[in-house]
Amino acid sequence: MAKILVADDEQKIREVIREYSEFNGHEVTEAADGMAAVGLCKMNDFDLVIMDIMMPKLDGYSACKEIRKISDVPIIMLSARSEEYDKLFGFELGIDDYVVKPFSPKELMARVNAVLSRRSASQPQQPQTMKFEGLEINIPARTVTIDGEKVELTPKEYDLLFYLVENKNIALSRDKLLSDIWGYDFFGDDRTIDTHIKNLRNNLGKYRDYIVTLRGVGYKFEA
């Protein structure tokens, strides 16, 4: 199952895409304009975005630019315009496919599944569970256990721990952590990182020392 964001100002089109997507086992979130689509991408981890070009508040091209600042989620662009220039411009912005309206819902789903398959094949396969002594971390399931006991973390603490583990033994600056986890538009300072690291270490208990402080730089997960 994939989490799909459908952004189109035409409700009927959103409903058709939702119906076919859910029939294919996917979960769908809707947005009626480009600004709403960008906001949802900042708050959620989608597996795919299907987005119309002509939308109010923020057009699809502009929304794509903003999304690309924070995410490399695959994007399929919808448009009533079939000119080569429009397609090329979309691909230059980083979209993964371009579908001209009116379209066949079955063809769109075939393109969706093809993009998702390519995405899955291109990503390195992480082991389901990573173990560091008695600390077990399952990123796909978003679970953390210590000596067999499940630990409850806040959403951002999960994100921070998983990011550190995925980049284990790599020095990560506070700015890097802020931009990749909180987003480029975060209004705050690096004390946010320090506070979350402190809380995360407290939750990890005797395994807190896996998170190493790099003075003047940031942090790393040392394994």
Cα 72 from Cα 75, distance rounded (Å): 9
Which pLDDT tens digit goes with each residue over 1-32? 889 999 999 999 999 999 999 998 899 999 99
Asked: is 3-122 a CATH 3.40.50.2300 domain? The reply is yes
Nearest to 18 by CA among 112, 140, 118: 112
Query: What CATH number does the domain located at 130-221 have?
Result: 1.10.10.10
Domains in the chain: boundaries: 3-122, 130-221
Cα 133 from Cα 123, distance rounded (Å): 27
Which pLDDT tens digit goes with each residue over 156-179? 899 899 999 988 999 999 888 887
Cα 10 from Cα 39, distance rounded (Å): 19
DSSP secondary structure code for residue 126 in this structure: P
